C-alpha cells in the first residue's frame, strides 16, 4: 500500500522539527510514486521496503526540485513548480533538505541496498550534468543520448528494482534489468510525448525540449533521415523559440519519415524484454506496470 510510504515520508519530514519544511512539503505534488510502487511490488510491504521506497521518493522529489531550477521550468505536473512559487533559492534548499534527510535514513537500511541506491544518485547527478552539456549544441549522437537518459532517469528505477530484489532475496540481476528497461523506455516515451502532445495534454509547453536545446531521440532520428537542406533547416531551429509554423513543419517531417513509430518501436522493444523477464519470474503485476508504461497517453 502506497499510503504506508506516504506516511513514512511524512514522518521523516516531521522528524526534522521544522515548520517551514512541513509547509513546503505540503505544497509538493505527490506524483505517480512509480519507484515506490516498484519497490513494494517486488519486496512486499514490510518496514524495510516501505522505508527504502520513502527514501527513494524523497531523493527523486529533490532531484525534480533541482531539475526545475536548472531547466527554468515553471510548471510541474500541470501546476506551478516550487521554484515558480517561491523562487530558485527556496526550491534548491528544500531539495537539499529532502535529499540529505533521505541520505541520512539510508544509514539505517541494509548496507548493500544503501550502496545500490547511493550509486544511482551519483548516476542521476552525472545524467543531469550530461543533459545540460548535450543541450549546448545539436547532439546527433544516439549513444550519448542513450547513456544520458540511462543516467538521468533509468538509474534510479534500476536501483529501486535491484534494491527491492535484495530485500526480498530475489535474483537482483533480473530485476535490475527490468528496472533499467522500464526507466529507459519511460524517458523515451516522455521525450516522444513532448513532440506528439499538446500543451494542454502535457501540462507544460509542447516541443519544449528542442527549444531548450535538448535533441531527444525523435530529433536524432529525424536528423538522420533528412536530406541536407532539411538538416540545415532543422539545425537552424535548435534551441530557438519555435513559432507555430516551425512546430507544424517539424511535426510534418516527423510524420513523413515515420519517426514517431520508429521511436515508439524502440521503447516497445525494451518493454517487451521487461515483460518477458517478469513472465518468467511469475510477477504479473510487474508485467502490468511495464505494459501500462508503453500504453500511456498514446
Ligand atoms: C528530469 O528530467 C530530471 C531528472 C530525472 C534527474 C534530475 C537530477 C538532478 C537534478 C541531479 C541530482 C540531484 C539530487 C538532489 C539528488 P527532464 O528535465 O527531462 O524531465 P521533466 O520534463 O520531468 O523536467
Ligand atoms: Mg526538467
Fold agreement (1-109, 110-298): yes
Model pLDDT for residues 192-241, shown as the tens digit of each residue: 999 998 777 777 677 999 999 999 999 999 999 999 999 999 999 999 99
Strands 79-80, 75-76: parallel, antiparallel or unpaired by DSSP? antiparallel
What are the residues whose beta carbons fall under 8 Å from the beta carbon of 236, sequence distance 6 or more? none
Residues of the chain predicted below pLDDT 70 = 204, 297-298
Query: What would the CATH number be for the domain defined by 110-298?
Result: 1.10.600.10
Find the angle CA(179)-CA(181)-CA(186) to the nearest 5 degrees: 95
Residue minimizing CA distance to atom 7 of ligand 1: 63
SS3 192: helix
Model pLDDT for residues 255-276, shown as the tens digit of each residue: 999 999 999 999 999 999 999 9
C-alpha distance from residue 155 to each of 56, 163, 257, 293 (Å):
12, 12, 31, 17
CATH superfamily, domain 1-109, is Farnesyl Diphosphate Synthase (1.10.600.10)
pTM: 0.94
DSSP-assigned beta bridge partners for residue 76:
79
Q: Kindly list the domain boundaries of the chain, sorted by start residue.
A: 1-109, 110-298
Estimate the crossing angle of helix 2-15 against helix 88-106, to 10 degrees.
110
68 alpha carbon to ligand 1 midpoint, in Å? 8
Taking CB atoms and a 6 Å cutoff, what residues make up the pocket around ligand 1? 59, 62-63, 66-67, 71, 73, 95, 99, 121, 124-125, 128, 152-153
Amino acid at each position: 500500500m502506497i499510503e504506508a510510504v506516504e506516511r513514512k515520508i511524512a514522518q521523516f519530514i516531521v522528524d526534522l522539527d521544522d515548520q517551514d519544511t512541513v509547509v513546503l512539503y505540503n505544497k509538493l505534488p505527490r506524483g505517480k510514486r512509480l519507484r515506490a510502487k516498484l519497490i513494494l511490488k517486488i519486496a512486499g510491504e514490510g518496514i524495510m521496503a516501505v522505508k527504502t521506497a520513502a527514501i527513494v521518493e524523497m531523493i527523486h522529489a529533490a532531484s525534480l526540485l533541482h531539475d526545475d531550477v536548472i531547466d527554468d521550468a515553471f510548471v510541474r505536473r500541470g501546476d506551478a513548480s516550487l521554484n515558480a512559487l517561491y523562487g530558485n533559492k527556496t526550491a534548491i534548499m528544500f531539495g537539499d533538505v529532502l535529499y540529505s534527510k533521505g541520505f541520512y535514513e539510508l544509514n539505517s537500511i541494509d548496507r548493500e541496498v544503501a550502496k545500490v541506491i547511493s550509486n544511482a544518485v551519483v548516476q542521476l547527478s552525472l545524467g543531469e550534468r550530461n543533459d545540460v552539456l548535450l543541450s549546448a549544441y545539436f547532439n546527433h549522437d544516439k549513444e550519448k543520448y542513450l547513456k544520458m537518459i540511462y543516467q538521468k532517469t533509468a538509474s534510479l528505477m534500476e536501483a529501486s528494482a535491484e534494491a527491492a530484489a535484495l530485500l526480498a532475496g530475489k535474483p537482483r540481476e533480473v530485476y535490475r534489468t527490468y528496472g533499467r528497461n522500464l526507466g529507459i523506455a519511460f524517458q523515451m516515451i516522455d521525450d516522444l510525448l513532448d513532440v506528439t502532445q499538446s500543451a494542454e495534454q502535457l501540462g507544460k509547453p509542447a516541443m519544449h525540449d528542442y527549444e531548450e536545446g535538448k535533441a531527444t531521440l525523435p530529433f536524432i532520428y529525424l536528423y538522420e533521415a533528412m536530406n541536407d537542406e532539411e538538416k540545415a533547416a532543422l539545425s537552424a531551429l535548435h534551441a530557438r523559440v519555435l513559432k507555430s509554423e516551425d512546430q507544424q513543419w517539424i511535426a510534418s517531417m516527423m510524420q513523413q519519415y515515420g519517426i514517431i513509430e520508429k521511436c515508439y518501436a524502440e521503447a516497445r522493444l525494451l518493454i517487451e524484454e521487461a515483460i518477458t523477464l517478469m513472465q518468467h519470474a511469475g510477477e504479473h503485476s510487474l508485467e502490468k506496470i511495464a505494459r501500462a508504461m508503453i500504453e500511456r497517453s498514446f
